[in-house]
Amino acid sequence: MIATEDLTNSPQGIARAAEILRAEGLVAFSTETVYGLGGDARSDRAVARIFDAKGRPRFNPLIVHVPDVAAARHYARFDARAEQVAAAFWPGPLTLVLPLRPEAGLSDLVTAGLETVAIRVPAHPLAQALLRAFDGPLAAPSANPSGKVSPTRADHVRAGLAGRIEGILDGGACAVGVESTILGLDGAPSLLRPGGVTVEALEAVLGVGLVSGGSAERPNAPGQLASHYAPGAAVRLDVHEPEAGEVWVGFGPCPGAALSLSETGDLVEAAARLFHVLREADQRAGAGGRIAFAPVPEVGLGRAINDRLRRAAAPRG
Ligand code: TXA
Ligand code: MG
């Protein structure tokens, strides 16, 4: 067991987090999407510890976080399309999968031996401050035990990883609430994971439709295994009328719902609340309980929300 330090959003907290990271320790920190579990992306030891702390399979590569596009160009090859989307959406909830510059010195564990690297420039001021204080690339998967619900608050991180990591840097609740969109640009632009930047917005900037990349059986983003975000309770989707004993989670007007993603049917609010509500519903359902979600439209952020809900509802492997 490691004593997990609670670090505040302050110059002292950020300096302490950077110090832990320089010593190859692990610090969870807020981004605008979800909390990330950060470690030095150049250090085999730090990256190996990320996999161990999460119980994450080693074949599933990590996202490298950098403060700006200039730093990103150091680790990945940017073509005109990559420059264009980076200019439009960074800093922000978009991850680009690009050809790796093997000479740049990232740990091979980060990329799981692939010739591509996933890279992102987060917008959250605390993530930005940490990256600048650390002055290096941070590998950071979501700060939850592998296969479980992603954390959008510091206490979610503590519940899952206390005793396994050196610190938690608390930047409050995450504003976006679902993970970054992953766009593959090592070939035709492909959607590897729907997320905080909508497909519609990406297609408008790229001027072409995205091909959908990967599947549960042969994932292009290897983390996209079918069962993920698994709460303890069983989950049923697209439910207009819940059965007795189900904790019903509404979207829009749902009289009698126990909880709601957004009472006004606002997708931005629903994404921001998603993982917190999923945890809350799980607690209310209790052991062996059941959760039922009202339908969420498959447009804009609704695609990312439905993707996460389908994984939460998938049969557990
Ligand atoms: O919003 C986010 O992206 C958060 C915050 C912390 O930045 N991070 C996050 O990381 O969601 P994680 O590890 O939970 O998801 C990373 C995904 C996985 O599905 C992984 O397979 C995929 O990125 N990935 C990483 N490197 C890749 C690569 N070279 N090619 C394809 N997919 C890759
Ligand atoms: Mg994750």
The residue type found at 261 is: L
Domain 5-212, CATH: 3.90.870.10
Tens-place pLDDT, residues 228-237: 788 889 999 9
- Judge if the beta carbon of residue 181 lies within 6 A of ligand 1: no
Q: What is the pLDDT of residue 231?
A: 87
Count of alpha carbons within 13 angstroms of residue 138, beta-carbon side = 35
In terms of phi and psi (left: phi > 0; alpha: psi -120 to 50; beta: otherwise), the region of 119 is: beta
pTM, full prediction: 0.94
Q: Where are the domains of the chain?
A: 5-212, 234-313
User: Looking at residues 241-264, what average pLDDT do you find?
Assistant: 97
Cβ neighbourhood burial of 12 (10 Å; 0-12, 13-18, 19+): exposed
Protein residues placing their CB within 5 Å of the ion ligand 2 = 142
44 C-alpha to ligand 2 centroid (Å): 20
Pocket test for ligand 1, best of 106, 128, 182 (most atoms within 8 A of CB): 182
Q: What is the pLDDT of residue 224?
A: 60
Tens-place pLDDT, residues 40-86: 999 999 999 999 999 998 889 999 999 999 999 999 999 999 999 99
Pocket test for ligand 1, best of 50, 95, 157 (most atoms within 8 A of CB): 95
In terms of phi and psi (left: phi > 0; alpha: psi -120 to 50; beta: otherwise), the region of 200 is: alpha
Q: Which atom belonging to ligand 1 lies closest to the Cα atom of 220?
A: 31
Tens-place pLDDT, residues 179-188: 999 999 999 9
